[in-house]
Amino acid sequence: MTPTPLSVSTPESTSGDATPIRLGTRASALATTQSGLVARRLEELTGRPVELVHIKTEGDVKTGSLASLGGTGVFVTALREALLDGRCDVAVHSLKDLPTTPEPGLTFVTPEREDPRDALCARDGLTLATLPHGGRVGTGSPRRAAQIRAARPDLDVVDIRGNVGTRLDRALGPDADLDAVVLAYAGLSRLGRTDVISEVLDVDVVAPAPGQGALAVEVRTADIVSDPATGRAPAPDLAEAIHLLDHRPTRLAVLAERSVLARLEAGCAAPVGAHATVSGAVLRLRSVVAAVDGSEQMSRGGEASLSQDVAPEALDAAARTLGVAVAENLLADGAERLAPLSATVPEKA
């Protein structure tokens, strides 16, 4: 495939290096908006121009339900290949699209997270509680569908695909055939479309996808970490910028959430929700596993203390340990009976 470069801006270089940083992104409006936010920040931190390089992923090319695509990497594999073969220097993903297994040779950081909750976009300003009996609600996410069914068993949950605009039109457009659709608040906020939200869904009603609302800014590890074996030194301006992009509270929260998913061996759109927060020196996590038909769901939680006197690696380990512990509690109490935890269906914004 041939990537298409798109210049974001060309500021005066303050680092003495005017070589553009090539940032790989999917071409959708949401992806380019998210990548544009990262591009502008990289320009500020490095003084170098950034070019967006459009990469088509399998999820952009294939049609049909998300369940039929069968792989958590469907939206990220092509971007990672472009990084590894040198067609781009940085890639931006929605973190919830990333498989939980690390990719050899690549490292990602997490900028500060947007609101991770889901949003109901309904005709006439309706809420989940006021949608009519038998109302039709669209979503491409098994996690959202299961929890919506648990909250309102009388609703008809319809599987839909498409970009944000296409999905909104299904409920709010002139030819609408649905009463509502459910999307991530973060994506609507970044697109400047929060006006279409009729209700932001409480995390106790619809728990978000692990990592929802967060971005992953991914680079080749060799570009930011010295390799004693080869003597290769990283690019200092890019290495420092990537370090500064990482937001520690976001990193710890999403590490805990994704550790639940990894221990459950579930795909990123299995009916599993997780929500972690950092408040002071305490990391709190709650996770939900739901039956696909919404007939039953199970919730478990926990917390961990975050000492300020330990190395960042120890804080990361504490977050992972918390996630694994919550997942172990879910498994011990029969979570596998409720849901197909081996599902690997990708989730849309």
Taking the CA atoms of residue 153, residue 155, residue 158 and residue 162 in that order, the dihedral angle to the nearest 10 degrees is -110
- Kind plus residue range of the DSSP H or E element containing 164: helix 164-172
Catalytic residue among 85, 89, 97, 246: 97
Q: What are phi and psi of 34, to 5 degrees?
A: -60, -45
Are the C-beta atoms of 323 and 263 separated by less than 8 Å? yes
Render 268-287 in DSSP notation, one character per residue.
Answer: TTSSEEEEEEEETTEEEEEE
Q: 29-46 and 236-245 are packed helices; what angle lies between their axes, rounded to 10 degrees?
A: 120
Task: Specify the amino acid at residue 199.
Answer: E
* Residue 118 designated active-site: no
Task: Specify the amino acid at residue 128.
Answer: L
User: In 47-111, which residue ranges form alpha helices assigned H by DSSP?
Assistant: 58-61, 77-84
How far is Cα 274 from Cα 203, in angstroms, rounded to an integer?
9
How far is Cα 10 from Cα 307, in angstroms, rounded to an integer?
42
Catalytic residue positions, numbered: 97
